[in-house]
Amino acid sequence: MPPSLTSFTDDALIAFDNLTDRAANLVNPSIRLGVTGLSRSGKTVFISSLVHNLLHGGRLPLFEPVQSGRVSAVRLEQQPDDAIPRFQYEDHVKALVKERLWPDSTRAISELRITLDYRSASGWNRMFSPGRLSIDIVDYPGEWLLDLPLLAQDFRSFSDNTVTLARSGIRAELSRPWLELASGIDMDAPADEMVARQLASAFADYLRACKADERSLSTLPPGRFLMPGDLDGSPALTFAPLPDMPDTKAPRGSLRAMMERRYEAYKTVVVKPFFREHFARLDRQIVLVDALQAINRGPEAVLDLQRALADVLACFRPGHNSFFSALYTRRIDRVLVAATKADHLHHESHDRLEAITRRLVDRAIRGIGMSGAGIDTLALASVRATREATVNRDGHTLPVIVGTPMAGETINGEQFDGKRKTAIFPGDLPDNPDSFFQALESDSEQHLPDLNVVRFRPPAVEESSAGIKLSVPHIRLDRALQFLFGDRLA
C-alpha cells in the first residue's frame, strides 16, 4: 500500500496488531486468508465448498497435502476474533446440499477457522513443526476493498474522478438525475440537510443502477452506499461527489464544506478501521470475479471490470515476509484472481477464460511492481452445477452443458420451473485473448463471443452407502487451495 494511505499512527496500530498475531502463531501456527470479490462472484459459495471438500474428503487431486495422504485430520474450531461474526458455514451448506439453493451473498465481514493436522513432507520439519495449521478465512465484500483507494484521495479528487467516470459511456444516462440535481444547486450556499439527503439518495440510486444485472458495472465506490448496514442514514453516508467544483476553498458552513467533512468522516469511520483491523492483517488473498457476466454484458462492462481489478490489486502490500519484517508489518505474499462459474462453459473454454482473466489483471500486476509477490489467475467453479454432453444437430456434434435452470429462467422463450434439466450450447470464448481485447478496444461488439449464460441450481449431491452426503463437485478448487496455502503444509 502506498505510504500516503496510512498515517504514522495507523502504522503503529497495525504493527501492534501484527505483534499480537505473531505471538499467537507461536502457540498455534495459522494464516489469514482473505476471500473477496465483486458482486455476485460467489464468495460464500467458494468458502462453503472449500470447507466442505476438506471436511468430507473431496476429490482434490492437485492439492498435494491431501492427495499424498499427509493430512490426517480436518476440523472446524472457534475463531480467534470474538468481535467478528462467524461465517455460518452450516447454514450455507444446508442451502447448497439439502435445499439446492445458492446461499445469500456476503453483506458484511465474517470469519471461520478450519484446522488441518498434517505430516510434513520434510523429515527435518517433522522434528520441529507441530504438524498443525489453522486457516482463518476472512470473508468481506469486494465493495469494501474498492473503498481503500479513497484513503489517498481528498474530496476534490474523489469528486473529479467519480464525475468524470459518471459522464462516460452507459453511465452518462444512469447518472443524469444525480448530476442534474447536483448542477442545479449552489454548493457554496449555507448547508442544508435536506439538500444533502437528496444528493446522497440520487447518488446511491446511480450506483445501484450501475450494479444492476443488466449492466454489471464494477467500479462503484463508496461501497457502503450499496450496503449501508447500521450506518444507514448517518452523516457519514449522507454526502455525494460534486461536479465542477471551483478551485477556491469551501466557505465555512457551506454545503460544499459539509460534503467534504462527511467524506472525510466516511474514510475515518468506515474505511480506516476496515483497513487496520482486517485488511492489513491478511497473509493470503483470493479475489473472485464474474468475468462471464461482464463478457456477456459487452465491452463497457469488461473494461469497467478491468478498471475495478486495477483498483483492487493496487490496494495490496505485495511481497515476501521475512521473519523480522513480519513482526511489524504484513505483506500478502500470494494473491489469486479467480474467474468463477467455469461450469457455465464447456471445458474447452476453461483455459480461454483463464487467459482472458490474466489479461484483465496484467496491467495492474505491472503497476504494483510485484515486489516478490505471487500473483496468479485461475478459472474455477467452486460448486459445479452442470455436466458436459454432446448433441447432434444438422450433422454436426455440438458440445453442451446439462443442468437444472433456476426457477424463472427463460431459454428460447421457454420458462423453467427449477426442477427440469436441460442442455444448452453455452458458446465459445476465443482461443486467442488478443483478438478478444482487440475487439474491445475497437468497440466492435460483432467480434465479441456470443455466450448463453444461464443460472443453474446447485447439483444434487449423492449420498454414500452410510447415508453421508458426499463432497460437492467443483472445477479446479484443488488448484486454488494448492496455490493459496499448499506451501504452508509442506
Q: What is the pLDDT of residues 191-209, one digit of tens each?
A: 999 999 999 999 999 999 9
Would you say 155 and 255 are in contact if contact means Cβ atoms under 8 Å apart?
no
Higher-pLDDT residue of 393 and 270 is 270
Q: What is the DSSP letter of 131?
A: S
The whole-number pLDDT of residue 353 equals 95
Could you identify the residue written with the cell 481503500?
148
Spatial separation of the C-alpha atoms in residues 316 and 375, rounded to whole Å? 11
CATH class of 3-140+278-383+479-489: alpha beta
Mean pLDDT across 263-291: 93
The residues with which 318 forms a beta bridge, in sequence order, are 332
Residue from 343, 370, 342, 347 nearest 357 by CA: 342
- Contacts of residue 263, Cβ cutoff 8 Å, sequence gap at least 6: 155, 158, 239
Would you say 318 and 372 are in contact if contact means Cβ atoms under 8 Å apart?
yes
- Backbone φ and ψ of 254, nearest 5°: -85, 165
pLDDT at 27 over 70: no
Would you say 120 and 129 are in contact if contact means Cβ atoms under 8 Å apart?
yes
Residue type, 458: P
Mean pLDDT across 395-418: 90
CB atoms within 10 A of CB 129: 16
The residues with which 374 forms a beta bridge, in sequence order, are 334
Q: Ramachandran region of residue 53, left (φ > 0), alpha (ψ -120 to 50) or beta?
A: alpha
Higher-pLDDT residue of 9 and 416 is 416
Sorted by where each begins, the domain ranges of the chain are: 3-140+278-383+479-489, 154-269
Would you say 67 and 486 are in contact if contact means Cβ atoms under 8 Å apart?
no
pLDDT at 474 over 60: yes
pLDDT digits (tens, 9 = 90+) for 378-390: 999 999 999 999 8
The whole-number pLDDT of residue 20 equals 56
The whole-number pLDDT of residue 6 equals 53
The whole-number pLDDT of residue 324 equals 35
Is the backbone peptide bond immediately before 61 cis, with ω within 30 degrees of 0? Answer: no
The whole-number pLDDT of residue 127 equals 56
Least confident of 237-241, 325-329, 391-395: 325-329
The whole-number pLDDT of residue 328 equals 40
Spatial separation of the C-alpha atoms in residues 273 and 159, rounded to whole Å? 23
pLDDT digits (tens, 9 = 90+) for 43-99: 999 999 999 999 999 999 999 999 999 999 999 999 999 999 999 999 999 999 989
Spatial separation of the C-alpha atoms in residues 238 and 240, rounded to whole Å? 7
If you average pLDDT over every residue of the chain, what do you get? 86
3-state secondary structure of 215: coil
Burial (0-12, 13-18, 19+ Cβ within 10 Å), 120: middle
Least confident of 69-83, 328-342, 392-406: 328-342
Spatial separation of the C-alpha atoms in residues 339 and 358, rounded to whole Å? 10
Residue from 335, 356, 363, 361 nearest 293 by CA: 356
pLDDT at 443 over 90: no
Spatial separation of the C-alpha atoms in residues 179 and 189, rounded to whole Å? 18
